Chain A
Amino acid sequence: MGGTGVLPVGTVTSPSAGEPRFPSRKKRPRPARLVPLLPATVLLAVFLLGPVVWSFYGSFTNSALTGAAANHTSFVGLDNYSSLFTSSAFPMSLLLTLIFVFASAVIGQNLIGLALAVLMRKSNKVVRAAVGASVVAAWVLPEIVAAFGAYAFFSNTGTLNVILHAVGLPTINWLYDTPMLAVTLANVWRGTAFSMMVYSAALMNIPPEITEAATVDGAGGWKRMWNITLPMIRRSISTNLMLITLQTLSVFTLIWVMTAGGPGSKSSTLPVLAYQEAFQFSNLGYGTAIATILLVVGAIFSIIYLRVLKPEVD
């Protein structure tokens, strides 16, 4: 599941392990209890909080990899941000990112994942196992391998065009003429397993009596789905949407291998643009500004997610 940051969600049940009930332990000096937290805290502070703080700071400087600014980094205020919004590349890239997230995660992965989970409950065992294995396999493969698989599938002489040709349909140079469609479909292929698993688990938790009762009352398939199943798994739906949004927001490898953001910048989403600006055009400040915006967007999603879902931290 290369790089997919699988977020922990939901309630932490079992406050059971509980607190020691021994009065004698209360005499121990309290701060000692915090010592085991130290290694994790130091690692998180240096390698996660550090870059975040650095990102905000760096986005206000003109730091560069080469040239005059490489030696003398100076504070340039909001210059990076104003050049971001006045350039044509950034607004375009922002739009592409939104399209990519909406089409491949919110629509593609989410709906196909839900459909698979629902259909699999009605299918026979062998079919279910086969579908589960093939969908999950695309998700378990290391991301670079998955990216090569998708590249080969969509390339001009690849499997998809061979099939289209065989059944008499016109072929398309997917990676060149419709790069966004190709990477969107590839991301659906790669990531649907996650939604499917979340929804399978959620559907399993619906007591069968409830759907049976509805069936007896004459509710048809669609009605049952809309009035009973979906409301009952709404927590899983919002959890899943939030997680796949965050994951898709940071997809880099898939796009980099398939199109490298091209042709031109027709498929350079924000992570790709940040990489290109920082490392190919050695414009670190500009790249850092993009990274900062992505971090802020990610943070907003995380806060919404924590607020809406209120995972119980006991």
Chain B
Amino acid sequence: MSVAALPKISMSSPRHLGVKSLTNGLLLFLALCFLLPMVWLLLASFDTEATLAVNWPAQWSLANFAKVMTPEQTLIPLWNSFLLSAGCALVTVTCAVLAAYPLSRYPLRIKKPFLYGVLFGTGLPITAMMVPVYSLFVTLNLMDSLTGTMFFMAATSLPMAIWMTKNFMDEVPISLEEAAWVDGASSMQTLRAIVVPLMRPGIAVVFIFVFIQGWGNFFVPFVLLLSPDKQPAAVSIFSFFGQYGAVAYGQLAAFSLVYSVPVIVLYVIVQKVLGGSFAMAGAVKG
């Protein structure tokens, strides 16, 4: 093709401008569609007369928040959510760092089967498992136990956490440890003194990742925890909805908002740590 026959692709061509504004318009429309259900949540929480539709509050008020911010309504469930997800993240990260070390450092015969097993475990539909998990918990006498639920949630997030932690650990050069080994340090000592400090951001990412998942988990505590004073916010919001939901939409929205803020903040922190715009998907780069 001769140069003269080249199609005009300069930025200023009118056709290109038209396509561009069409693209922007379409995208803004899609953004609006995605935003609408969430706008309801925001507006309804400040509106004492909230209905199910998006409505500009006639009078902005914090009354909904004041109503739900009682110990038994919100604070205890939020505390339970914190216990569950922080405990789960702590257990998961500890086990994952320990497990990732030999997988990252040694040529092990079981490495391949172990990592394939872990990958396979990430694909298990946990929701599908809840019926047998319930039976297992009844048999082990773990029903209605926060600790039992926490360990189960840790086990479900462990495959993903091991995978991520191993990848972060692979980035820490082994040469740093070799010097310490020569001086007689054990591998567990170098793990604690050299590897873990160097991969702190990675560990933080895994911890927050597991924490967010635990915080948002509804089905697992819904099945495994029975007493209201042990239930996390996800389950107590659901019970609140069942009891008062049909009348108190504003309070439901306020409760939901209070419960959502921590994970949104944590998500933003992870983005900052990892630096990319869609860093969470980094783990799934094809």
Which chain A residues in 69-122 approach chain B with CB under 8 Å? 112, 116, 119-120, 122
Q: Which residues of A contact B120 (CB under 8 A)?
A: 299, 302-303, 306
Let me know if B145 is at the binding interface, CB within 8 A: no
Tell yes or no: A25 within 8 A of B by CB: yes
Closest B-chain residue to A242, C-beta based? B123
Query: Within the assembled complex, what's the spacing in Å between the Cα atoms of A215 and B213?
Result: 43
Given A7-B284, A25-B181, A153-B37, check contact A36 B98 (CB 8 Å). Answer: yes
Whether B102 and A305, one on each chain, are in contact in the complex, defined by CB atoms closer than 8 angstroms, is: no
Q: Smallest Cβ distance from B218 to chain A, in angstroms?
A: 5
> From DSSP, what is the main secondary structure of chain A's interface residues?
helix
Give Cα A237 to B70, complex, Å: 47
In the assembled complex, which residues on chain B have CB atoms less than 8 Å from the CB atom of A36?
98-99, 101-102, 188
The one of A25, A131, A132 in contact with B278, judged by C-beta atoms closer than 8 angstroms, is A132
Closest to B134 in A: A278
Is the CB–CB distance between B129 and A52 below 8 Å?
yes
Q: Judging by beta carbons under 8 Å apart, are A157 and B135 in contact?
A: no
Q: How far is the CB of B127 from chain A (nearest CB, A)?
A: 4
Assess whether B95 is interfacial by the CB under 8 Å rule: yes
Q: How far is the CA of A128 from the CA of B122 in the complex (A)?
A: 31
Contacts of A302 in B (CB 8 A): 119-120, 123-124
Is there an interface contact between B40 and A50, defined as CB atoms closer than 8 Å? no
How close is A72's CB to chain B, nearest CB, in angstroms? 15
Using C-beta atoms within 8 Å of the partner chain, give the interface range for chain B.
35 or more
Q: Which of A240-286 contact B (CB under 8 A)?
A: 240, 243, 246, 249-253, 257, 270-271, 274-275, 278-279, 284
Task: Tell me, yes or no, whether B169 is within 8 Å of chain A by CB.
Answer: yes
B53 / chain A contacts, CB cutoff of 8 Å: 152, 157-159, 161-162
**B82-117 vs A, Cβ < 8 Å mask (1 yes, 0 no):** 000000000100111011011111111011101111
Q: Which residues of B contact A209 (CB under 8 A)?
A: none
Given A7-B123, A48-B121, A202-B286, A159 contacting B158 (CB threshold 8 A): no
Give the number of residues in A that approach B within 8 Å (Cβ atoms). 129
A312 to B9, CA, bound (A): 41
A252–B129 Cα distance when bound, in Å, is: 12
CA distance A158 to B54 in the complex (A): 8
Question: Which residues of the other chain, B, contact A47 by a CB distance below 8 angstroms?
Answer: 133, 151-152, 154-156
B residues with CB within 8 A of A: 1, 6-7, 9, 19-20, 23-24, 26-28, 30-38, 40-41, 44, 51-54, 91, 94-96, 98-99, 101-108, 110-112, 114-136, 151-152, 154-156, 158-160, 162-164, 166-167, 169-174, 177-178, 181-182, 187-188, 212-213, 215-219, 223, 234, 237-238, 241, 249, 252-253, 256, 259-260, 263-264, 267, 277-278, 280-286
Q: Can you list 17 A-B pairs with a CB-CB distance of less than 8 A?
A: A2-B218, A9-B284, A12-B167, A17-B169, A20-B174, A36-B98, A47-B151, A52-B132, A55-B129, A119-B23, A135-B30, A143-B234, A198-B286, A284-B135, A294-B128, A298-B124, A302-B119
Ranked nearest first, the 7 interchain pairs of A and B with the lowest CB-CB distance are A2-B216, A294-B128, A302-B123, A47-B155, A236-B286, A197-B281, A142-B216
